[in-house]
Amino acid sequence: MPSYESIFILKPDLKEEEIEKNLNKLKDVIINKGGIINRLEKWGKKRLAYQVKKQRMGNYIFIVLEGPPNLIPELEKNCKLNEDIIKYITIKQERGDTFKVTFEDGKEDIEEKKLDIRQERFL
Helix or strand run (H / E) with residue 5: strand 3-10
Q: How many structural domains compose the chain? A: 1
Model confidence pTM above 0.85: no
pLDDT at 93: 84
Cα–Cα distance for residue pair 70/6, rounded to 1 Å = 15
Residue 99 domain flag: no
pLDDT at 102: 54
10-residue averages of pLDDT along the chain (123 residues): 90 93 93 92 91 91 91 92 92 66 54 45 41
Residue 15's domain is classified under what CATH number? 3.30.70.60
Residue 118 domain flag: no
pLDDT at 106: 58
Look up the domain containing 75 and give its range: 3-94
Residue 110 domain flag: no
Residue 116 domain flag: no
Residue 56 domain flag: yes
Residue 114 domain flag: no
